[in-house]
Amino acid sequence: MSLVNKRSTSSDNDLAKPLKELVNLNLIRALAIVMVVMSHLPIPKQWIPEPYDLSTLGSLGVFIFFLHTATVLMMSLDRQRYEGANKLLQHFFIRRVMRIYPLSIVAVLILGFVMFFSGGEINLNTFISNLLLIQNLTHTPSIPPTLWSLPYEVQMYLVLPFIFLLLKKIPKRKFLKLFAAWIVAVVAIYGGASAGLNVDLIKFFPLFISGVMTYVLYDALHIKKFSPVFLITFCAALLFLFPVIVGFGVISLVLGWPAILLLGVLLALSSEVQNQTTATLSKVLAQYSYAIYLIHFPLIDLVFNRMDLDLNGFKWILFFLLLALLSYLFHRWIEQPCIRIGKKWTAT
């Protein structure tokens, strides 16, 4: 059974709360984008000890993105809870569209034109599916390949507000009821996949539920009891042990379900990281992570495969310089202005 076979991205960083309340959320998002980029870099195989499966870091990074996105969006919905159900849904979907689509559309258009003018073939169905972010429904390739995760995220947007509204009607034991739903989802997905059923549309649902559970714990706990050392230690353990366990044959998604659930619980229970350098670096990486996610894969192909450069060390320097520059430009010129437009349209 293969529940997930993609190698590596998206969501939010728009909580209007003080930095001290956001450091840990920024930290795991920064960690996620680092994992995704690492999984695609042309690191020599002899540098990677067996059975460490470096490509699995990309999947783990995406799983963390899903957790982060669900948590942050539930918090965002909580800030809009007084708007009324209809306006809440309308504003949520407008902001989501303006947050996720503009940058992905630009990335698809650029790569589509490059493929066309370089003599490559691009299927119209594939091109349109990528523009609409429905590749998982049309079973078409993603352009760029890291775009594969965005359709699942967009489809999560369709469900999350209704989960939020439902939670508001549950007075007690929200976490336990969500945990029960998590168990049911895991059993149903694994059982369905084992029976040969197509579970593609729901296989990431436990990860999104984990994000909702994290939000519930954040909302319920006003005093954090755990040192952030526990969260950092667990993240380090994931970084080193997750690819090793997958290397021994465990399915990455099956391992990811409980791993991400535990990460979310620790995230909610831990006090915030106080180191200012860590906080600043995490904030910067989190802020530009969506642009980095979309840009890094084609940039790796350009620099390491298509450029005729004799100095291999220069390729690495050039890659990271271009990644930083293009991510900054994409964020400042496309992503950030469109986020502002979405907020302006939903200001009343």
Structural domain total, the chain: 1
Whether residue 223 is contained in a domain is answered as: yes
At residue 306, what is the residue type?
R
Helices (H), ranges, the chain: 23-40, 56-79, 85-117, 124-132, 135-138, 150-157, 160-167, 174-194, 205-220, 228-247, 252-269, 276-287, 289-300, 312-330, 336-345
Whether residue 10 is contained in a domain is answered as: no
Residues of the chain with pLDDT under 70: 1-21, 222-224, 348
Segment 147-173, tens digit of pLDDT: 999 999 999 999 999 999 999 999 889
d(CA 97, CA 79): 19
Nearest partner of 30 among 316, 292, 225, 346, judged by Cα: 292
Nearest partner of 272 among 5, 23, 8, 3, judged by Cα: 23
Segment 74-92, tens digit of pLDDT: 999 999 888 889 999 999 9
Q: Note every long-range contact of 125-128, with CB atoms under 8 Å and residues 24 or more positions apart, other chains counting.
A: none
Whether residue 178 is contained in a domain is answered as: yes
What are the residues whose beta carbons fall under 8 Å from the beta carbon of 44, sequence distance 6 or more?
Answer: none
Whether residue 4 is contained in a domain is answered as: no
Cα 312 to chain center, whole Å? 31
Whether residue 14 is contained in a domain is answered as: no
Q: What angle do CA 163, 169, 174 make, to 5 degrees?
A: 70
Whether residue 5 is contained in a domain is answered as: no
| Coil, helix or strand at residue 84 | coil
Whether residue 49 is contained in a domain is answered as: yes
Confidence at residue 1, expressed as pLDDT on a 0 to 100 scale: 45
Domain hosting residue 158, numbered range = 19-345
Confidence at residue 21, expressed as pLDDT on a 0 to 100 scale: 57
Segment 195-240, tens digit of pLDDT: 999 999 999 999 999 999 999 998 887 666 789 999 999 999 999 9
Whether residue 9 is contained in a domain is answered as: no
CA separation, residue 241 to residues 19, 30, 33, 49, 234 (Å): 30, 19, 18, 12, 10
Confidence at residue 220, expressed as pLDDT on a 0 to 100 scale: 84
d(CA 20, CA 186): 34
